[in-house]
Structure 1
Amino acid sequence: MLTRHMFAATVCAVTASFATAEEITLPNQIAWTAYGTGSAGYNQSIAIGAAMQEKLGVNLRVLPGKNDIARTEPLRQGKVQFSANGVGGSFMAQEGVFQFGAENWGPQPVRILAANNGGTFGLSLAVAEEACEKAGKPGCEGFTYSDLKGLRVAWIKGAPALNVNNEAYLAYGGLTWDDVEIVEFGGYGDSWTGMIDGTVDAAFAATTSGRVYEAASAPRGVFWPPIDPANAEGLARMQSIAPFFSPITATVGGNIDGTDGIQTAGYAYPVLMTYSEQNTDLTYNMTKALHELYDEYTGKAPSVDGWSLDKQNFTWVAPYHEGAIRYYQETGLWSDEAQAHNDKLIERQNALQKAWEELKAEAPENWQEAWEAKRRKALAAGGFEVVF
């Protein structure tokens, strides 16, 4: 099996088979993971892959994964070079929390190439219109997240990012998981099958997901409860759970297209990422291809426009790969502020990884409890923000 350690060493050995166009040099085949088929992340990956095939002769193989672990494990093993992941595979993997806090995982040395920061679609906890009636709000008139009390909310096994997102929306409404009925699903797609067949009343999604459009046209319908950007207390509760969220106006998505949009929340999604050890030249050229082929794939999938160069956020919650930084330096977009922020994030990762190795040497009986305490202590000692 080709491990991720071996992959970086083999990249230079296959340069003779590289396809080159407009000074973009990539292998004839690239592989990355993405969210499940029908998701916004998968659809955007396919659109980007079509542009790479047409202009560079490069075949992008997209492997769908049901959850954060399924998307990140192939990257860790070196079976793929990149992942169009979300906050689970980037921020939470970096932090070593939830599924990434298991003894066989730990804080991961993730690095970003680019992210979709389009802001035209939301990442929201949707409610079946039928469920509004159960809450005494027929037609969903006046329905807010506080009205989810007692209703059925999706919980995805092995997908802490999705579950934390749901928890954040519940917190906005002044609720916790104890206030709702938890319905477990094996993957994101399964939860939306449940939204259609009536198994669950609320599930998380990008507003542009294919499953959302499917559910919006089904008998139960889809409703997006509003997020009020002036509700400081609600937003504080939300961001205490998920600091990567911010209020936005979503203008595209199921039951949104053709309207003035809805007030909801969002964050960067998808996030094209890799590991720190990935070959710098490969990462540089992948970043360059993503941006310089933008005109070829823009408009080819819902919200794919958010990958544009002018929408990149260089002070997000996870660091950029040095290969990507090289490209952004060439474009004149990388600043001293961005570099200082990146360096601080790498210091944060190093502190977490050091704490992880120390705990492994201690071999505590209750790993989860010990790691949670060790992690928070390491972050506080290093002067880093303690999240989770």
Structure 2
Amino acid sequence: MGSAFIRGTVAAVAIFAGQAVLADEVTLPRTMVWTSYDLGSTGYVEASAMADALDKNYGTTVRLTPSGTGIGRMLPLAKKRATFGFMGNEIFFASEGMFEFAARDWGPQEVRVLLGRPAAVGLITGLDTDIESVADLKGRKVGFVQASPSTLMNTEAALAFGDLTVDDVEQVIYPGYGAMVQGFIAGEIDAVPVTPTVSALREAEGGRGVRWLDMPGSDSAGWDRVRASATIFSPTSMTVGVSISEDDPAELLGYRYPQLTTYADTSEDEVYNLVKALDESYDLFKDANGVIARWNMQDAGSSPAGAPFHPGAIRYLREMGVWDAEDDAWNETRIARLEAVKSAWAAATEKADAEKVSDDDWPAFWDSYRSDALN
């Protein structure tokens, strides 16, 4: 738990500590605590820029508590030591009670999204292969990262677009993401899941070459399979990145990273005011890096996301004309899914207690029960 609380501080001198700050009809707490990815990560840079903007606009002090793990970012929120977090796909796993959140002391979490910056991920192959589409990967070598649920989910969803599963490809497992990308550069594997701006891909571009395996939104059957694999993805067209341009875009899996997250019981007014404050402070942080401009309300304030949106965020987004009936439908479906997972968890817990299933055996027990009850 200690590693989750390595402190990074973005602070202003707080006069009249503890009082709310009122500016332009926005009311914020005098101080807030946010969790984020590690120092140096994109998520930390963007959280820092937004915190600094709130300091300048409203005099609000934001303390960042960075962590390199999903549990480390989530635990302060669960224990009410932080209110908001800049999260990744761990919020999807948390809401589903999967992987590290399958532990008996976790289970499905009532997390909610405020905003999420659009990002993209897809599969690449080399120009030295004859692979032209995702479907062409059948029987080919694809890179995987050991014990990386997010990377696995990305790959499963992309393969589903081509009507494939992980069992249809030759899995080459690497100990880390960097090692997997280097394996692709060296020609050890045919394809890897990557984001468009990974700097190491420049080396591949100058060597074997890079070809993106497009997943166009016009392929409704392919996208039905993607959404059946994971609800967090939607079609997106990227025009910036390695071997990508305005003239030659890549049609990829759109998702959200980072995602500003809280728990469902956070005050609706507090969430509403924070989203409004970030919107009104946008000009102060929009140039902090090459992608942070996509935190504008139009891009960051719509579904899908890793978890349902918070009512306070929805209220502001609806006022701004961003949130619509389609977003409502997605959110209601996502909340219904979370309720189903919670019910399954409760039933599985009761059954496990009756059968005296040990804590060590619980994850496998829950995985089996969850698969039968929810899929």
Sort the TM-score into its range (normalised by shorter chain).
0.7 to 0.9
In structure 2, the gaps of 5 or more residues are 5-15
Among 27, 43, 51, the alignment partner of 1:49 is: 51
1:41-120 matches, within 5 Å, as: 41-86=43-88, 88-117=89-118
Cα contact 1:156–1:162 (8 A) shared by 2: no
Among 34, 38, 60, the alignment partner of 2:37 is: 34
The residue that corresponds to 1:204 in the other structure is 193
The Cα of 1:145 is off from its aligned counterpart by 5.9
Partners of 2:327 and 2:30 in 1: how far apart?
29
Letter in 1 for 2:349: K
Partners of 1:116 and 1:183 in 2: how far apart?
29
The residue that corresponds to 1:9 in the other structure is none
The Cα of 1:70 is off from its aligned counterpart by 4.2
Letter in 1 for 2:122: S
1:254-292 Cα offsets, whole Å, 9 max, x none, are 332564422222123332111123344432332222222
Report whether the alignment pairs 1:146 with 2:149.
no
Given the superposition, is the C-alpha separation of residues 206 and 152 from structure 1 closer, same or farther in structure 2, using an over 3 Å criterion?
closer
The residue that corresponds to 2:123 in the other structure is 125
1:217-228 matches, within 5 Å, as: 217=203, 220=207, 222-228=210-216
Given the superposition, is the C-alpha separation of residues 185 and 15 from structure 1 closer, same or farther in structure 2, using an over 3 Å criterion?
farther
Partners of 1:200 and 1:63 in 2: how far apart?
37
The Cα of 1:107 is off from its aligned counterpart by 0.8
The Cα of 1:166 is off from its aligned counterpart by 1.0
1:234-253 matches, within 5 Å, as: 234-253=222-241
In structure 1, the gaps of 5 or more residues are 4-13, 380-385
TM-score, with structure 2 as normaliser: 0.75
SS at match of 2:91: helix
The Cα of 1:336 is off from its aligned counterpart by 7.3
Letter in 1 for 2:29: L
Partners of 1:190 and 1:77 in 2: how far apart?
35
SS at match of 1:268: strand
Partners of 1:184 and 1:104 in 2: how far apart?
30
SS at match of 2:278: helix
SS at match of 2:199: helix
Cα contact 1:96–1:107 (8 A) shared by 2: yes
Given the superposition, is the C-alpha separation of residues 194 and 75 from structure 1 closer, same or farther in structure 2, using an over 3 Å criterion?
farther
Letter in 1 for 2:231: P
TM-score, with structure 1 as normaliser: 0.73
Among 260, 266, 284, the alignment partner of 1:278 is: 266
The Cα of 1:319 is off from its aligned counterpart by 2.2
Given the superposition, is the C-alpha separation of residues 168 and 57 from structure 1 closer, same or farther in structure 2, using an over 3 Å criterion?
same
The residue that corresponds to 2:202 in the other structure is 216
The Cα of 1:360 is off from its aligned counterpart by 1.9
The residue that corresponds to 1:8 in the other structure is none
1:187-202 matches, within 5 Å, as: 188=177, 191-192=180-181, 202=191
Cα contact 1:47–1:301 (8 A) shared by 2: no
Cα contact 1:74–1:80 (8 A) shared by 2: yes
- Report percent identity of matched pairs: 30
Report whether the alignment pairs 1:371 with 2:372.
no
SS at match of 1:122: strand
1:305-344 matches, within 5 Å, as: 305-311=293-299, 312-313=301-302, 318-328=307-317, 330-331=319-320, 342=331
1:6-40 Cα offsets, whole Å, 9 max, x none, are xxxxxxxx96255554334133353222377444x
The residue that corresponds to 2:173 in the other structure is 183
Q: State the Cα RMSD in Å.
A: 3.8
Cα contact 1:75–1:83 (8 A) shared by 2: yes
Given the superposition, is the C-alpha separation of residues 324 and 232 from structure 1 closer, same or farther in structure 2, using an over 3 Å criterion?
closer
Partners of 1:275 and 1:339 in 2: how far apart?
19
Letter in 2 for 1:124: G
SS at match of 2:212: coil
SS at match of 1:253: coil
